[in-house]
Amino acid sequence: MAVFIFLLFVGFVIGLSFYLGRKTKSAGGYFAAGGQIHWAVNGIAFAGDYLSAASFLGICGMIATMGYDGFLYSIGYLAGWIVALFVVAEPLKRMGKYTFTDALDAKFNSKGIKLAAALSTLIVSICYLIPQMVGAGVLVEPLLGMEHSTGVIMVGVIVILIVATAGMTSTTYVQFLKGGLLIVFSTVLVIAVCVRGLSTEPAGAHDYKLLSAADVSNPDVLESIDGKTFARVEKDGVENFYYVIEAEGAPVQYQETQWVLERSDGDGKKGATFINGVEKTAENADTLALRQVGTLKQIAGQKGKEADTGAISPFKLLALLSDKETVVQRWSSASIKDGNDAITVYYPFTTPGNKVMRPGLMFKVEGTPLQRLDFVSLMLALFFGTAALPHILIRYYTVPSPAAARKSTIVAIASIGFFYILTLFMGLGAMVNSVVNPLTNNMSAPLLAQSFGTFLFAVISAIAFATVLGTVSGLIVAASGAVAHDLLDRFAGLEMTEKTKVGAGKVAAIVVGIIAIILGIKFRGMNVSFLVGWAFAVAASANLPAIIMLLFWKKTTKQGITVSIIVGIVAAIGLFLISPSMYPKYGLAAADAPFPLMNPGIVSIPLSFATLIVISLLTQPREPQSA
């Protein structure tokens, strides 16, 4: 049934796109929906655009594993809309035509600005596309039983079809539909979480045993790559891995874990794979998986049946989870190399509620000054990123007036803000209801829905999938606009008719779509919200200084804008590539990364501002000499 509902919903969305797209023939219709969308529809469509895979899958997943730290993204993303509303929305609407480049270039008519802004739109769109494609792959894996890469390719092809046949009108209505449904069904899910209440024994939870040394015979002690101690124990011919807990003055304890063992024959050829001791075969490949995790061990000092709360209010739920006598069982993983065996062990540990419900588990706000700076850097990029995202900015051109742009932003703030409040409940619901997949936290919200039945799971998954489709469509329209309108028509000066411009946009959409597919497969496994946070840093560094200074500093010159965009892009991407987030991807230790912060915004955004100011001062037009 899940697959049927899913396919029905996705089919409806695609059908709607084709229907609306039939009438789109002009460039104004393709890139800006003719500028005639109602502000209320546009406002919800903003929510549809903005509440991407990062918000629904990424934030909920991060809260499910890292507690309050994931909610910081919700706060930062929403705060960014204030910058968009108060500073950017109306002036941009007055200045532009189809694209962000038009607005920046309205005063100067400079080839340099056209090229830099178009490239920036392309690059930011692609950076933002990566997490959406990763999210798509993650979604179809459990729902349709497909490989991650198949899911990514499927989304890519569908979106290319939507965008290449329709454009901004259909993208807007798809976003409107999806944004509305996402908020409605997320509300249903949160109500279900509150009605279920909290329990230390949620349905389907496995009890992971803590053994004393007397219960474990002949442990083979192993050390993980990051220095954790584990024990391989064989009992009755079945081997198991335990996390060794050694505390000063206390006896050694052995914590039951979950594990994946990959055997190779010594020549690098992959051999058998075991999951929790069971060999993976063709027969059990679809069903054999790690158990879902995440439970409460204690609620405000109580355990077992006594701790069950039954239905509770949202406030009570948050209050109980914040209690220092509440204990949350969370999970981590460690890699062990033992001869030809590669073992990944997933082990539980506990955290008190008061630590889960405030920043600190992911962003080390009590750590070194550098770690605190990393937190500030993230919050800065989130605050300034929204108002610089090209696929958000182009939505201002779909409404008829600056006042409508303002009103649609307010509808967006209301609906997005409400949804972000829901993310805290959905993430925490997943954290304590034993639904988190230890391999990836991105699926936490749909899996939470699954714990309430197949119907809700199918609907939520279909909406999440449509979320990805819609956001990717918007991004590809933005990117294709940058190529066809900014680069080919305005920068290269090709005399293009309306028809050829739309045609060029569609070809660009196909190329960008293919790039997104490839990158979506490459970045598998990274949290989608984290990747979006990086895209925000790139957008805030490349575009925001140019927008702000153009509006508020009369001495801004075209050279200043052009160079600051390029410096912003290069700095944000370059610093990310040499950061601790990326070093493990190259097979190197994160600690060896030359740039110590995970979030580059705190360096790249001021650098871009400074560049604009310096270059503008150096390139001031000469005052006409008086006679």
Partner 1 sequence: MLHEPAAQAGTDHAAHYKMKLGVKMLIIYALVYVGFVGINVFKPTLMEATVLFGMNLAVVYGFGLIIFALVLALIYSAMCGKQERLLNAEEQKEEGAE
Binding to partner 1 (CB under 8 A): which residues in 41-70?
A: 68
**With binding defined as CB under 8 A, does residue 94 bind partner 1?**
yes
d(CA 619, CA 182): 49
Q: How far is the CB of 535 from partner 1 (least distance, A)?
A: 20
Residues 3, 75, 342, 510: which binds partner 1 (CB under 8 A)? 75
**With binding defined as CB under 8 A, does residue 210 bind partner 1?**
no
Burial 28-43 (b: 16+ CB within 10 A, else e): bbbbbbbbebbbebbb
Contact set for partner 1, span 320-339 (CB under 8 A): 320, 322, 324
Contact set for partner 1, span 497-536 (CB under 8 A): 498, 501
| CB nearer partner 1, residue 151 or residue 429 | 429
Q: How far is the CB of 169 from partner 1 (least distance, A)?
A: 12
| CB nearer partner 1, residue 72 or residue 307 | 72
Give me 553's structure tokens. Answer: 């500093």
| Greatest distance between any 2 Cα atoms in the chain | 103
Q: How far is the CB of 402 from partner 1 (least distance, A)?
A: 6
| CB nearer partner 1, residue 130 or residue 194 | 194
Contact set for partner 1, span 259-318 (CB under 8 A): 315-316, 318
| CB nearer partner 1, residue 212 or residue 401 | 401
Give me 382's structure tokens. Answer: 């989130």
With residue 379 as reference, give the H or E element that holds it: helix 369-385
DSSP 557-616: -HHHHHHHHHHHHHHHHHHHHTSTTTGGGGTS-GGG-SS--S--HHHHHHHHHHHHHHHH
Give every CB contact of residue 83 below 8 A, 6+ residues apart in sequence. 383, 384, 386, 387, 544
**With binding defined as CB under 8 A, does residue 399 bind partner 1?**
yes
d(CA 282, CA 568): 50
Best CA proximity match to 378, nearest among 534, 567, 152: 534
Q: How far is the CB of 188 from partner 1 (least distance, A)?
A: 20
| CB nearer partner 1, residue 246 or residue 366 | 366
Contact set for partner 1, span 355-384 (CB under 8 A): 357-360, 365-366, 372, 375-376, 379, 383
Is 47 in contact with 416 (CB distance < 8 Å)? yes
| CB nearer partner 1, residue 243 or residue 375 | 375
Residues 114, 407, 506, 558: which binds partner 1 (CB under 8 A)? 407
Contact set for partner 1, span 532-551 (CB under 8 A): 551
Residues 21, 28, 151, 520: which binds partner 1 (CB under 8 A)? 28
| CB nearer partner 1, residue 391 or residue 490 | 490
Q: How far is the CB of 10 from partner 1 (least distance, A)?
A: 30
**With binding defined as CB under 8 A, does residue 488 bind partner 1?**
no
In 223-346, alpha helices (H): 304-307, 314-322
Residues 6, 397, 534, 536: which binds partner 1 (CB under 8 A)? 397
Q: How far is the CB of 171 from partner 1 (least distance, A)?
A: 15
Is 387 in contact with 87 (CB distance < 8 Å)? yes
Contact set for partner 1, span 413-452 (CB under 8 A): 413-414, 417, 420-421, 424
Is 261 in contact with 274 (CB distance < 8 Å)? yes
Is 19 in contact with 166 (CB distance < 8 Å)? no
Q: How far is the CB of 606 from partner 1 (least distance, A)?
A: 15
d(CA 291, CA 437): 7
Q: How far is the CB of 68 from partner 1 (least distance, A)?
A: 6
Residues 82, 146, 515, 578: which binds partner 1 (CB under 8 A)? 82
**With binding defined as CB under 8 A, does residue 553 bind partner 1?**
no
Best CA proximity match to 31, nearest among 617, 523, 456, 505: 505
Contact set for partner 1, span 566-595 (CB under 8 A): none
Size of the site for partner 1 (CB under 8 A): 72
CA 567 to chain centre: 25
In 145-247, alpha helices (H): 148-165, 168-196
**With binding defined as CB under 8 A, does residue 74 bind partner 1?**
yes
**With binding defined as CB under 8 A, does residue 97 bind partner 1?**
yes
Query: Sheet holding 433-436: strands in order across?
Result: 278-279, 270-275, 258-264, 341-352, 327-338, 293-298, 433-436
Q: Which stretch binds partner 1 (CB under 8 A): 9-17, 210-218, 397-405, 596-604?
A: 397-405
d(CA 488, CA 321): 55
Residues 42, 65, 409, 461: which binds partner 1 (CB under 8 A)? 409
> What is the per-residue binding string for partner 1 in 116-145, x denoting contact by CB under 8 A?
------------------------------
With residue 69 as reference, give the H or E element that holds it: helix 68-83
Residues 354, 454, 619, 620: which binds partner 1 (CB under 8 A)? 354
d(CA 57, CA 77): 14
| CB nearer partner 1, residue 142 or residue 197 | 197
